[in-house]
Structure 1
Amino acid sequence: MKKILIVGAGGQIGSELVPHLRSIYGNNNVVAADISAEKCKVLAEAGPFEELNALDGEKYTAIVKKYGIDTIFNLVALLSATGEKNPGLAWNINIGALTNSLNIAKDNDCAVFTPSSIGAFGKDTPKDKTPQDTLQRSNTTIYGVCKVTGELLSDYYFNRFGVDTRSVRFPGLISYVTLPGGGTTDYAVEIYYDAIRRGAFTCNVKAGTYMDMMYMPDALNAVVQLMEADPSRLKHRNSFNIAAMSFEPGQIAAEIRKHLPDFKMDYQIDPVKQAIADSWPNSMDDSCAREEWGWKPEYNLQNMTVDMLVKVKEKFDKGLIK
């Protein structure tokens, strides 16, 4: 990777991936692009930025040519719970942005990374240690349908046109930098904010609901590690299971209580999010990622909780959040 374009840079992943890549490859070699310049002021001030609707293929192509881009990170997506409110819009955005990215990459000799998700699995998928290759036809969300479609399209462009496409199936991502935005696993971020803010949290998924999760620093490292991997070692491409930790709400609450003994949690179930969570794996088998490109996470629930509580409290103390 020498000249990188990150499309959808203002989202949860992009807002942290852009500075991470700039720290490795240099500010001027990582171009951030998003439909909204307003929410990307920090990214724009630190390096190249372009305002872009990823459905505008003409402008997208012009940006790729302008900067001599060789690697595209397509991060444009409506997330799981948000997508269920407007399935048509979710399909148009998620698949439209991907299709443009793949076609532009084909015509301009670019590699493409597009994140997939645990949402690519469905209710009939094995729940525990979900295999790398398994049934994905029982999906119950438009988000999941888009992810499965994206995996198939990305593999098609690799096999048919030789486009270097790579992807990981992210678990729920936990971060103190960017607030969550419409995902089913958002509770695992919100709980830390409310623990600091008011010492209590109302969880919108049931006790005993296990889902795979990952701390953002591990997610960022996974992306770079995969994109820098020797292609001759990759038996799979779209998409690799990656895992770090699996827990249910009671376990994260118990971990928080080790540091905030008076923390309390109750439940008010969101039926849409609960139904989505029930259709997803409890945990994923990531042995293929470990074997093919050396994936290994650094964070578990314990050391992530320590870091999250410290970093969220710092944000409150500085008045960055209320």
Structure 2
Amino acid sequence: MTILGRVGRGLVQMLVLMLGCTLLVFILQSLSGRDPGRSILGIYASQEAVDALNEQLGANQPALVQYIRFLGDILRGDFGISYYSASPVADLIGPRVLATGMLLLMGFVFAFAISLPLSMVAARRPGGIADGFVRSFTIAGTVMPAFWLGILLILVIALPTGLFPVGGYGDTFAEHLRGLVLPALTLGIGLAPVQIRTLRTAWIRSMDSPYVEAARSRGVGQSRLMVTHALPNSVTPLISIVAVQIGWSIFSAVIVENTFRIPGLGQGLVLAANQSDFPVVNATTLVLAFTVVFVSFTTDWISMLFNPRLRSTR
């Protein structure tokens, strides 16, 4: 199959998965048994007003018609009205998408900054002292809960130095970045162990490849061999691992955001669930699900760029 065929098939699969996500959320919303009109207007509203609002929202129509209308609203970016604040859901989760996106991006930047040099040090001499230290770090990073690590960073860095806020997000972009440093570092330390193990294994395997041996025989130094010759082939498995980590990092972001009081999607999801605000819960769930599906297929396409065997016809 050609690369265009693989991309086309991936697009179809991605759209089918996203459609399945919308169907699942719609079914769960229907099973909740909540009256949308009553939930929005409150218990003291008249039944006539509730019926009129339900008619406007299409809640009295057949399930198939409601689902088609639900899909149309999603395509327009309309996720309904919040049961708790009676505000458009899109207006509520929009700023939270930015906060979570910045947190995840910074978290992966920190993870790469940690995993690349440590995996390189470990792979230079497998079984050595440095390798043992790095492997110990990966074990500690794997078993350490995100909320405990976040609290530890607050006690060790934020409180003694005052360089970073204990919690909160600020109002300006500079304050956003400053407020996200410790949450992103917490997330990055949690992501780094798997990346280190993946890169270490791939690096060791690549260093034993014939083309690396040929370059070594020409007098190329160890560091240059690892960076210019072995690293490109070591990146492909890392891309696949990152695709898997996206889903885990979103779950971890829920904990991190609540630990540092970051107004992201994770904190909003917990708050909406406590308030039984199902439209906000549904919209947040869809945004996170769409993100995971999109990133998963995007990383598959990126892998084809780094792996010539995936680009060839079969």
TM-score (norm: length of structure 2): 0.22
Normalized per residue, which structure has more helix? 2
**Higher RCO by CA contacts (8 Å cutoff, separation 6 or greater):** 2
